[in-house]
Each structure stands twice: as C-alpha cells, then as structure tokens.
C-alpha cells in the first residue's frame, strides 16, 4: 500500500474518531440523524451506486468487441 494512501486513511480515521468521541452537541431532527456516521455512510453508499451505474451504462454504450474495426490484415 502506498504511503500516501495509508497516511490519508490514518487522517480519516483520526477525524472520524474525534467526531465520534468528542461529544460535540448534536441536535437531531430526524431518527436517522441519531445514527453515528450516517451521512458518511450515505455518501460512501451514494458514490458506490453512482460508480456502479456509470460502469453499467458506460459498459453497454462504450464497449466494443476486440475486432470492432475489422480483422487485422498484417
């Protein structure tokens, strides 16, 4: 694993831990807002859904077989 990725993941873990354990005042208006890390999980889930849709749609529209331009005559 690259050092920069490891460093980024460590910083993310530290920030998530701080926000979880710091006990900052939070006024939930809806039930899902009481779940710790809900918006982070929602963002990751949304990104995964968008990547899956892009891969599925892009694969159907952009994929061409290996011999799309004809057979090699070389």
Report d(CA 49, CA 55) in Å as an integer.
10
What tokens were used for 41? 């999980």
At residue 40, the 3 state secondary structure works out as helix
Q: Is the dihedral of CA 30, 34, 35, 38 positive or negative?
A: positive
Within-domain flag for 25: no
Q: Give the total number of structural domains in the chain.
A: 1
In a domain, 50, yes or no: yes
Tokens of 73: 């005559």
In a domain, 57, yes or no: yes
Res 67: pLDDT: 83
Single pTM value for the model: 0.54
Q: Which tokens is 19 given?
A: 């926000």
Mean pLDDT, to the nearest integer, of 46-68?
87
Identify whether 14 is part of a domain.
no
What pLDDT does residue 69 have?
84
Q: Residue 47: which domain range?
A: 36-63
Tell me, yes or no, whether 52 lies in a domain: yes
């Amino acid at each position: 694993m690259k050092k920069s990725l490891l460093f980024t993941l460590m910083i993310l873990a530290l920030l998530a831990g701080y926000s979880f354990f710091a006990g900052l005042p939070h006024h939930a208006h809806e039930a899902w807002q009481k779940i710790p890390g809900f918006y982070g999980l929602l963002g990751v889930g949304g990104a995964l859904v968008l990547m899956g849709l892009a891969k599925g749609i892009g694969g159907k529209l952009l994929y061409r077989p290996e011999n799309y331009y004809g057979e090699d005559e070389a």
